[in-house]
């Protein structure tokens, strides 16, 4: 039997990662408020579902945006025939304008540098094909989106070398970390072709400050390597500090522009993952030219280009949408993080994204990734929440979890929070007998841990327990 | 620069081919009935523009689809969020029903075996990534669609080895041509992973005969390799013989449950059959579950927009509509082809007998100043720049014989086609009437051409002489 390719039969698709296991658990038993109230709540999918009613109003008011309507059908034929990989001019112009508005109009984007791709997924692969040959490498700060392992490496043969970021300084990207990663790649005989940053960060939900960005620009210029800025969460920055895009920094520092490329998409900012609108924006003419040819493998459906062009050229709608979306994300984020803190769960301080980087290190039986996996199994199977373990994001420290908050309605959010609350209380109750039997050296850490949780939750008016479990245990 | 990948700097994107250069010239000076009546007429683009009225009238009768509604309820959010690479079940079913209908319902398709991709361009590349390693080879009968050079080779590193077909037997695939290609690949130290055929053929416009299909089955069985059948023109078979899909052959030979069956993969698209290239709807249908699994994951790099899946699932589920569309479309294509053939005849030009596709494979060998590809290029440039018709030279399709051109007939109005034929007639008249050396060359060529070609060119020469007089 003739073999298939190694690419097809290998694991490069990355789907054996726990990131996807949680999804599978969700899929076999998905939560539904009435049909499946005990199902798994999906908190592992970074979707933006908060603004659909807002967008739908616009769609209803603008039937001409649909090629199928009586108002839009006069454009049907020419649009259906248009397969030019340059993309519809109106589409490029409206996307360029939108990208500018998302950055507070502090920069302008050139529609002629906009290249389409099959979502950001397709964009990343395409950029990798353009910038690197098989066996070469990109540096990527950890923790990073698990999909990169597939998107950048699978069919391209490119390697990823982690730039290890630490919780001790809130996972900031330091020049030291960059240099260390670069050296590591050299030692492994890997030629580094570029650095990929996600800003705002997935999974952290934080943005890079100006100093860090300048440091990064300096680093890539000095090493003469590319910088790929994945800015797909740019419009989800819901709070100060203000988002600073690579495109802005370029105007402020010396930089070889041929090294700069931005990946964008409407999947997160607008909540349109189904429409597959990915964008590669490069400041390098040769890359634009090559990427454009490659975009043949993943063009945006012109039916969708037409819809998006109509929508994003409506300035009032766009301005209002951006504001409204930020407002809703801010409120959801605030409520969620506050509720978690009420039961003693902290998270990395963040101002962007559709998720929080939850700190459950204290709940680990030991500081290992095995313990993280154990905890994660409990969260999926007992608490019935699909959250994503930090290890699937290549975090160097166990105990962190990415939890999405924008992909559900308020009621589901309340159910999720209730489950977390219940779990935390039960967990603390369960902790007591086990730990008392353990060796003395552990007793110390136990009592310290208890202090972190007990006072808060027992004092809370919502606690179902009449008295401290500590008291119970001693007797 | 050294800073970019080799893919950026190499030529495997194939865009330097005359196939694409002709398009560029067209774009600089495109014909428009009113605004630019002396511009270049595009006859190098295999589009189907003949049946849009049928699509538009369907849209008119189905307003729900326009408003992102299903049974009056808005499903905008559901569509906007749907990114499952398994695709919209209703769409897959409707698409497969359509494919079965095109094959006279002689075969049935399993929805678990289809993978949706962003156009056939993506489907073909994805199959290469699944079936071959860098440096492996696929055999392709010539002439073939120029885009394959990019789609199959560029980012995959897979090689193409031509199966040389000739006009002596109307470009049919023969056992010796297959074997010869295989041997050539071996001599180049290339491991052959499979054969890729386009059926109906682009650029020939012909459907494969049962004999050819049987030959292919035997060949892939014997060599233990894959077979990819690109059937994107299957819905454009407008006259007999009827289309025979590779699926049908396997069914008839009772090979459906065999191991060879798992090595057969079909590529489909709605770009040609429904005339919707802009919507990027392609598909891979494979009988190998591992290929389906791998290709499904790879489709992440080029999924079909959910908005488009929804529109087309509604349209293709309307069986009354699809039946009517297929029948009317065939009729119009048949008529259009006849117009082109008649116009060519008036210019003393013959073409390969064909029953499908959106183009004819036109024989202009008698117009060449010499039996060379240089002469073909010379003639092509004159046709593009002087006659102002963008047609595709056979060399861009890797034809082994100079003088053949692909001329499209379904991407323009009837009037434009008539004008194109008039221009061609005048051009032919001018070069054969005045050019003595050209006539002398033709006289000498007569001695070497094969019988049927001789008869044809002699005939047309005669006709022209009479016209001139």
Q: Are A272 and B80 in contact, with CB atoms under 8 Å apart?
A: yes
The question of whether B145 is a catalytic residue gets the answer: yes
Which residues is A260 bridged to in the sheet? A227
> Does A324 lie in the same domain as A278?
no
Mean pLDDT for A398-410 is 96
One domain for residues A297 and A407? no
What confidence score (pLDDT) does residue A132 get? 96
Q: Is the model's pLDDT at A444 over the cut of 50?
A: no
Using the Cα atoms of residue A286, residue A291, residue A296 and residue A301 in order, give the sign of their dihedral. Answer: negative
What tens digit of pLDDT does each residue of B150-204 get?
999 999 999 999 999 999 999 999 999 999 999 999 999 999 999 999 999 999 9
Lookup: tokens for A465: 């327990």
Residues A141, A22, single domain; the answer is no
A390 and A420 assigned to the same domain:
yes
Disruptive mutation site among B301, B309, B315 for chain A (greatest number of A CBs within 10 Å): B301
A449 lies in some domain? no
Active site annotation includes B272: yes
Task: Note whether A403 and A263 are same-domain residues.
Answer: no
Q: Which of A426, A443, A465 is a domain's end point?
A: A426
Which entry of B19, B26, B145, B285 is annotated as an active-site residue? B145
Coil, helix or strand at residue B159: strand
Of the residues A295, A314, A333, which one is the last residue of a structural domain?
A314
Which one of A426, A451, A468 terminates a domain?
A426
Per-domain residue ranges of chain B: 6-52+323-429, 66-318
Q: Are residues A305 and A373 in the same domain?
A: no
| Domain span at A40 | 18-52+319-426
Pick the more confident residue, A472 or A428: A428
Residues A125 and A185 in one domain: yes
Number of domains in chain A: 2
CB contact under 8 A, B80 and A274: yes
pLDDT at B442: 52
ipTM over 0.90: no
pLDDT tens sequence across A410-428: 999 999 999 999 999 887 7
| Same structural domain, A387 and A347 | yes
Q: What's the first-to-final CA gap in chain A, in angstroms?
A: 69
Q: Is residue A105 a part of any domain in this protein? A: yes
Pick the closest to residue A305 from B55, B300, B307 (CA basis).
Answer: B307
**CATH code, A329:** 3.90.1150.10
Check if B230 is active-site. yes
Same domain? For A310 and A344 the reply is no
How far is Cα A279 from Cα A432, in angstroms, rounded to an integer? 53
Integer angstrom CA distances of residue A133 from A25, A126, A149, A284, B402: 37, 12, 16, 18, 37
What per-residue confidence (pLDDT) applies to A13?
86
Which CATH code fits B66-318? Answer: 3.40.640.10
Let me know if A230 is a catalytic residue: yes
Is residue A265 in a domain?
Answer: yes
- pLDDT in the model for residue B468: 34
Tell me the whole-structure pTM to 2 decimals. 0.89
Residue A469 has pLDDT above 70, yes or no: no
Minimum CA–CA partner of A137 in chain B: B5
Per-residue pLDDT at B21: 82
**pLDDT averaged over every residue in chain B:** 90
At A43-62, the pLDDT tens digits run 999 999 999 999 999 999 99
- pLDDT for residue A176: 97
Output the pLDDT for position B12: 72
- CATH of the domain spanning B6-52+323-429: 3.90.1150.10
pLDDT score of A34 more than 80? yes
Q: Using only the alpha carbons of chain A, give its radius of gyration.
A: 24
- Determine the pLDDT at residue B455: 35
Question: Does A433 score more than 70 pLDDT?
Answer: no
CA distance A342 to B39: 73
Q: Is the pLDDT score of B23 beyond 50?
A: yes
Q: Residue A451: its pLDDT value, please? A: 36
Specify the residue for token string 């994300």.
A329
Does A305 lie in the same domain as A348?
no
Q: Is the pLDDT of residue A460 over 90?
A: no
Give the mean pLDDT of B389-414. 97
B280 pLDDT above the threshold of 90: yes
Domain assignment present for residue A198? The answer is yes
> What do you get for the CA distance between the two ends of chain B, in Å?
62
User: How many Å apart are CA B350 and CA A200, to the nearest integer?
Assistant: 63
Q: Which of B97, B149, B151, B230 is catalytic?
A: B230
On whether both A303 and A364 belong to a single domain, the answer is no
CATH value at residue A263: 3.40.640.10
- Catalytic-labelled residue, pool B92, B164, B193, B272: B272
Report whether A431 contacts A448 (CB < 8 A): no
Which pLDDT value is given to residue A475?
A: 31
- A81 in the same domain as A96: yes
For testing the chain A interface, which of B305, B315, B358 should be mutated: the one with the most A CBs within 10 Å?
B305
- Per-residue pLDDT reduced to its tens digit, A185-230: 999 999 999 999 999 999 999 999 999 999 999 999 999 999 999 9
């Amino acid at each position: 039997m003739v073999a298939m390719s190694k690419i097809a039969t290998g694991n490069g698709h990355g789907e054996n990662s726990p990131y996807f296991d949680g999804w599978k658990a969700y899929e076999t038993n998905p939560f539904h408020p009435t049909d499946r109230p005990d199902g798994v709540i999906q908190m592992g999918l970074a979707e933006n579902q908060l603004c659909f009613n807002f967008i739908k109003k616009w769609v209803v008011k603008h039937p001409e945006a649909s090629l199928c309507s009586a108002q839009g059908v006069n454009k049907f034929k020419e649009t259906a025939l248009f397969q030019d990989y340059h993309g519809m001019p109106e589409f490029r112009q409206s996307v360029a304008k939108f990208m500018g508005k998302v950055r507070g109009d502090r920069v302008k984007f050139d529609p002629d540098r906009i290249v389409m791709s099959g979502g950001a997924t397709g964009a990343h692969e395409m950029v990798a094909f353009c910038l690197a040959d098989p066996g070469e490498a990109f540096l990527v700060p950890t923790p990073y989106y698990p999909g990169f392992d597939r998107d950048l490496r699978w069919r391209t043969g490119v390697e990823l070398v982690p730039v290890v970021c630490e919780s001790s300084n809130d996972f900031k990207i330091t020049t030291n970390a960059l240099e260390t990663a670069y050296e590591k790649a050299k030692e492994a005989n890997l030629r580094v072709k570029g650095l990929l940053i996600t800003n705002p960060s997935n999974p952290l939900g934080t943005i890079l400050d100006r100093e860090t960005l300048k440091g990064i620009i300096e680093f890539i210029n000095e090493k003469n390597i590319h910088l790929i800025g994945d800015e797909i969460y740019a419009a989800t920055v819901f709070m100060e500090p203000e988002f600073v895009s690579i495109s802005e920094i370029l105007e402020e520092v010396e930089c070889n522009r041929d090294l700069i490329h931005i990946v964008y998409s409407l999947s997160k900012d607008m909540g349109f993952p189904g429409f597959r609108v990915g964008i590669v924006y490069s400041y390098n003419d040769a890359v634009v030219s090559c990427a454009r040819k490659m975009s043949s493998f993943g063009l945006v459906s012109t039916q969708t280009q037409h819809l998006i062009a109509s929508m994003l050229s409506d300035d009032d709608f766009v301005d209002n949408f951006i504001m409204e979306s930020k407002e809703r994300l801010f409120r959801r984020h605030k409520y969620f993080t506050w509720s978690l803190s009420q039961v003693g769960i902290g998270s990395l301080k963040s101002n962007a994204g559709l998720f929080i980087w939850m700190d459950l290190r204290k709940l680990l039986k030991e500081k290992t990734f095995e313990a993280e996996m154990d905890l994660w199994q409990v969260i999926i199977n007992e608490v019935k929440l699909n959250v994503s373990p930090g290890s699937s994001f290549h975090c160097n420290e166990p105990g962190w979890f990415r939890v999405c908050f924008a992909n559900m309605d308020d009621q589901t959010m309340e159910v999720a929070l209730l489950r977390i609350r219940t779990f935390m209380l039960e967990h603390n109750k369960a902790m007591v007998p086990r730990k008392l039997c353990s060796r003395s050296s552990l007793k110390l850490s136990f009592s310290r841990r208890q202090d972190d949780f007990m006072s808060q939750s027992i004092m809370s008016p919502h606690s179902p327990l009449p008295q401290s479990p500590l008291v119970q245990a001693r007797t | 620069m050294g800073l970019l990948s080799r893919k950026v700097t190499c030529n495997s994107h194939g865009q330097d081919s005359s196939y694409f250069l002709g398009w560029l010239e067209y774009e600089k000076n495109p014909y428009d009935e009113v605004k630019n009546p002396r511009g270049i007429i595009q006859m190098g683009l295999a589009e189907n523009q003949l049946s849009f009225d049928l699509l538009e009238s369907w849209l008119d009768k189905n307003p729900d689809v326009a408003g992102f509604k299903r049974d009056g309820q808005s499903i905008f959010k559901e569509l906007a969020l749907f990114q499952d690479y398994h695709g919209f079940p209703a769409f897959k079913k409707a698409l497969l029903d359509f494919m079965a209908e095109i094959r006279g319902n002689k075969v049935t398709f399993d929805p678990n075996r289809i993978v949706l991709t962003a156009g056939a361009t993506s489907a073909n590349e994805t199959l290469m990534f699944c079936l071959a390693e860098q440096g492996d080879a696929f055999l392709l009968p010539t002439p073939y669609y120029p885009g394959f050079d990019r789609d199959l080779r560029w980012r995959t590193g897979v090689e193409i080895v031509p199966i040389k077909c000739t006009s002596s037997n109307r470009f049919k695939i023969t056992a010796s041509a297959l074997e010869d290609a295989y041997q050539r690949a071996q001599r180049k130290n290339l491991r052959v992973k499979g054969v890729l055929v386009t059926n109906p053929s682009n650029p020939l416009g012909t459907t494969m005969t049962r004999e050819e299909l049987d030959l292919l089955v035997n060949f892939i069985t014997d060599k233990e390799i894959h077979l990819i059948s690109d059937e994107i023109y299957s819905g454009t078979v407008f006259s007999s013989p009827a289309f025979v899909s590779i699926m049908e052959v396997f069914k008839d030979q009772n090979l459906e449950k065999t191991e060879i069956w798992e090595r057969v993969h079909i590529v489909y698209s709605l770009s040609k059959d429904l005339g919707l290239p802009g919507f990027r709807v392609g598909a891979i249908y494979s009988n190998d579950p591992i290929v389906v699994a791998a290709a499904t994951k790879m489709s992440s790099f080029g999924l079909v927009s959910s908005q488009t899946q929804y529109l087309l699932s509604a349209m293709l589920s309307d069986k009354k509509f699809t039946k009517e569309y297929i029948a009317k479309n065939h009729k119009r294509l048949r008529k259009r082809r006849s117009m082109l053939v008649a116009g060519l005849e008036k210019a003393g030009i013959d073409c390969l007998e064909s029953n499908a596709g959106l183009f004819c494979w036109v024989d202009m060998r008698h117009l060449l100043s010499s039996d060379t590809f240089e002469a073909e290029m010379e003639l092509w440039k004159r046709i593009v720049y002087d006659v102002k018709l963008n047609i595709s030279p056979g060399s861009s399709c890797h034809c082994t014989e100079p003088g053949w051109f692909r001329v499209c007939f379904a991407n323009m109005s009837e009037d434009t086609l008539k004008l194109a034929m008039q221009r061609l007639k005048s051009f032919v008249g001018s070069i054969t009437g005045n050019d003595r050396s050209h006539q002398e060359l033709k006289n000498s060529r007569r001695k070497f051409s094969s019988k049927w070609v001789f008869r044809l060119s002699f005939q047309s020469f005669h006709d022209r002489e009479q016209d001139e007089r």
